[in-house]
Homo-oligomer: A and B are copies of this chain.
Amino acid sequence: MALTAAALAELAKGELRGDGSVEVDRLASLDRAGPRDASFLASPKYAAQLSDSNAGVILMAPAFADLPGRAPARILVERPHEAIQSLLPALYDLSPPEPWIAPTARLGRGVVLEDGVRIEDYVVIGDRVRIGGGTRLYSNVTVYAGTEIGARCIIHSGARLGSDGFGYVFQNGRHVKIPHVGRCIIGDEVEVGANSTIDRGSIDDTVIGAGTKIDNLVHVGHNVRIGRACLLMAEVGIAGSAHIGDGVILAGQVGVSGHVNIGSGARIGGQACVMGDVPPGESWSGYPARPHKQSMRATAAMFRLAPIIGALERLVGRKNGEGEA
């Protein structure tokens, strides 16, 4: 959908400099843009790329207006990054895809699909699954029997919803599988990333609250409950029966131990290992996770320790490692 620089400036409520008749078709970063791309400069970090950019139009903060560059048109706006978002609907077709059940989708007995569901190729849906209106399942998704998915959800390719939890009883030298009869219940407006896995409950259910967003390759164990509007970033792992409140943010690769409670509004730093309860609203990090400031101070102290550990050992009359278990 071609647009002129003048049209873009009007949409972005910005000030046009240069040739308003230049046409662009899409957006691109400064260093990858060509003459029919619009680009933007929002941070001084990328200012050096301005002079070499081949973009046809560049949105930029007024502070950068005098920097050299060969783009035939510039648009000055206070917040270039937000302005560029406002141009998306004019340049791209962002309408949701049509409802559709791919002929290759396999639906079990008693499956209930509300209006506007879209199910793409090679999706497999078990018996008695319910899927709310407007939800989209990308290709190659598996939904185990009995799972419930809310309305307006997006389930990305390769996600597995409702697989058996990891539960065994050790008897006579063997791990005997515990039957899993609980459900996997996904609230409205949840997004589940590519290749993520959410197990069904054992007797209880696994529940993901409305509006929670889950990134790629995340694992959610059996009987876990996650509240509303949480963010779980890539490769997070949550062990069985952990309870997580509303609005919690778990950064990438965070691990949460079984049966732990994380209070609403808590934020957990990347790769942290949460082994005990986290109070609401707190920021925690580290291995094991502790309040973020405490973790930062402990880590800083550890790096300051190295150059003086020998002197300290001499001070208390102990040789390196002596008496260590």
Contact = CB atoms under 8 A, between A and B. Distances in A.
A203 B29 contact: yes
A130 interface: no
B308 A305 contact: no
A190 to B, nearest CB: 10
B217 A191 contact: no
Contacts of A36: none
- Which residue, A28, A84, A120, A231, has most C-beta atoms of chain B within 10 A? A28
A271 B299 contact: no
Interface stretch (A13-21, A68-76, A109-117, A233-241): A233-241
A237 B104 CA distance: 32
A118 interface: no
A275 interface: yes
Given A203-B28, A216-B166, A270-B257, A297 B306 contact: yes
Nearest to A271: B273
Interface in A60-106: 84-85, 88, 91-92, 94, 104, 106
Given A156-B163, A158-B160, 16 more contacts: A29-B205, A29-B223, A140-B140, A140-B158, A160-B216, A168-B231, A197-B234, A219-B252, A233-B239, A253-B255, A297-B306, A301-B306, A302-B302, A302-B305, A308-B313, A311-B318
Q: Sort A-B residue pairs by CB-CB distance and give the 3 closest, nearest first.
A: A29-B204, A160-B194, A142-B157
Interface of A: 26-29, 32, 40, 84-85, 88, 91-92, 94, 104, 106, 120-122, 124, 138-140, 142, 144, 154, 156-158, 160, 163-164, 166, 168, 173-175, 177-179, 181-182, 189, 191, 193-195, 197, 199, 203-205, 211, 213, 215-217, 219, 221, 223, 229, 231, 233-235, 237, 239, 252-253, 255, 257, 270-271, 273, 275, 286-288, 290-291, 293-294, 297-309, 311-313, 315-316, 318, 320-325
